[in-house]
Amino acid sequence: MTLVTRHPRVAVAVFPGTWSERDFAHVARTVLGWEASLLWHTETDLGGPDAVVLPGGFAHGDHLRTGAVARFSPIMRAVEAFAAAGGPVIGSCNGFQILTEAGMLPGALMRNDHLEFRCDWQALRVERPSAAEAWLGDFADGDVIRLPISHGEGRYVADSVTLDELERNGRVVLRYADADGQVTADANPNGSERGIAGIVNAGGNVLGLMPHPERAAEPEVGGVDGLRLFRSLERWLQARPAAAERRL
């Protein structure tokens, strides 16, 4: 077995109206020394990355519904194939909305219940992180972390059958909470069902979350909890040299 020592490579999808791609690339390149490529949404080849990022913003102006048009961008065929092969994919904010519209994650994100855009630091409770090991492997069940949120349409909605199934299979991995980790109505910034802030697919490799881990990766910006998602990915990749080599 050859030890893979190279740095992770992430591909960051860029749609017309995306706004968080440079923050993700900054964290990957400058903070962590990884490689990051920004790929325009018309690309059909991801270039063999270790992980794919669908960043936040307003892809295609969020017209019709958030993510509704972006899911038909050519790059999404490649992202779907990458995810189907077990590749780690993270969709943050608008990226989460795109993942639900594409059917890669269940449910939908709707207008916040108070109709306001909410930009703030938010406490989150991590639950059963082993279900999303590639992205949350560094966390323990019940950890309380702080990440920025920045959205007007983050109210997670799904029918009760879907919600029960997600809960039963441990696929709800992040919930809005107070500083003590209690999931309460007051701590819920948008009216999401059951306080859901992040879910993972059945395969455990596709994570969707409304908060922005890339905006909490340096002490200068007020927190570093977001960096732990990147560290989780790095360790997950290191533990799978065969998978990493296959993509070399």
What does the binding site for other proteins look like in residue numbers (CB under 8 A)?
Answer: 64-65, 68-69, 72, 100-101, 106-108, 110-115, 157-159, 191
Pairing verdict, β 172-176 and 196-200: antiparallel
What H or E segment, with its residue span, contains residue 95?
Answer: helix 94-101
Q: Which is nearer to other proteins, 67 or 198 (CB)?
A: 67
CB closer to other proteins, 20 vs 112:
112
**Among 47, 31, 15, 26, CA closest to 219:** 31
CA distance 141 to 123: 15
Which DSSP category does 246 fall into? H
- Cα Dmax for the chain: 54
Radius of gyration over alpha carbons of the chain, in Å? 17
Catalytic status, residue 93: yes
The verdict on whether 214 is a catalytic residue reads yes
Q: Which one, 46 or 104, has the nearer CB to other proteins?
A: 104
Q: Closest distance between other proteins and the C-beta of residue 152, in Å?
A: 11
Find out whether 141 and 129 touch, Cβ atoms under 8 Å. yes
Tell me the closest approach of the beta carbon of residue 114 to other proteins, in angstroms: 7
Identified catalytic residue from 41, 60, 151, 212: 212
Which of residues 77 and 246 has its CB atom nearest to other proteins in the complex? Answer: 77
- At 209, list the tokens: 């979350």
Question: Is residue 114 annotated as part of the catalytic site, yes or no?
Answer: no
Given the complex with other proteins, which of 71 and 175 has the nearer CB atom?
71
- Cross-strand bridge partners of residue 126: 174
Gap between the Cα atoms of 239 and 163, Å rounded: 32
Please state the closest distance from residue 107 (CB atom) to other proteins, in A: 6
Q: How far is the CB of 108 from other proteins (least distance, A)?
A: 4
Residues 6+ apart with CB under 8 A from 72: none
- Supply the minimum distance, in Å, between the C-beta of residue 68 and other proteins: 7
Instruction: Indicate which residue of 21, 101, 127, 214 is catalytic.
Output: 214
**CA dist., res. 186 & res. 121, Å (int):** 14
Residue of 21, 41, 93, 127 marked catalytic: 93
Identity of the residue, 115 or 185, whose beta carbon is nearer to other proteins in the bound complex: 115
Q: How far is the CB of 55 from other proteins (least distance, A)?
A: 21
Number of C-beta neighbours around residue 234 at 10 A: 17
> What is the SS3 assignment for 59?
helix
Count of residues making up the chain? 248
Active-site residue set:
93, 212, 214
